[in-house]
Amino acid sequence: MSARGVPRLAPASVLAVVREGGFAAMPGLERPRRIECGKLSQRQRERLQRLLEEIDRLDPGEPAAAGADRRVFRLFLEQPEAECWQCALDETQAPRGVVGLWQHGPGALDEPDT
């Protein structure tokens, strides 16, 4: 994770969310998501910003889940004229909002408690 915090989202920002791992890794089940901030409403962008800030505050020193069927979410934020941000989260420690983004894409930002 970035030690400098999450950059402010801009309309040109793009967030990629990927789930990797598992006992039988199958690339077709990863379902990578690309969330283009320019296609989000102001409210959705604000919720996404809060979610990324929550993720950035998580303690990276927490132990990962044990077992062979462990999955990890990888998030990559690309921005023009700004440093990129990225992180990896054990699936068991990921906020519900991350799971929602991966499963439902930007529509998850309209759901309560993202």
The whole-number pLDDT of residue 9 equals 92
2's tokens: 């970035």
The domain ranges of the chain are: 14-107
In contact, 13 and 37? CB cutoff 8 Å: yes
The whole-number pLDDT of residue 80 equals 82
HEC string for 4-58 = CCCCCCCCCCEEEEEEEECCCCCHHHCCCEEEEHHHCCHHHHHHHHHHHHHHHHC
To which H or E segment does residue 104 belong? Answer: helix 96-104
Render pLDDT for 34-62 as a digit per residue (tens, 0 to 9). 999 999 999 999 999 999 999 988 865 55
65 has pLDDT over 60: no
Report the C-alpha gap between 12 and 52 in whole angstroms: 16
Question: Is the model's pTM score more than 0.75?
Answer: yes
Q: Which of 32-41, 56-65, 96-105 has the lowest mean pLDDT?
A: 56-65
Q: How confident is the model at residue 3 (pLDDT cuts 50, 70, 90)?
A: very low
The whole-number pLDDT of residue 1 equals 43
64's tokens: 């990962």
**How many alpha carbons fall within 13 Å on the CB side of residue 67?**
11
Q: What are phi and psi of 110, to 5 degrees?
A: -95, -10
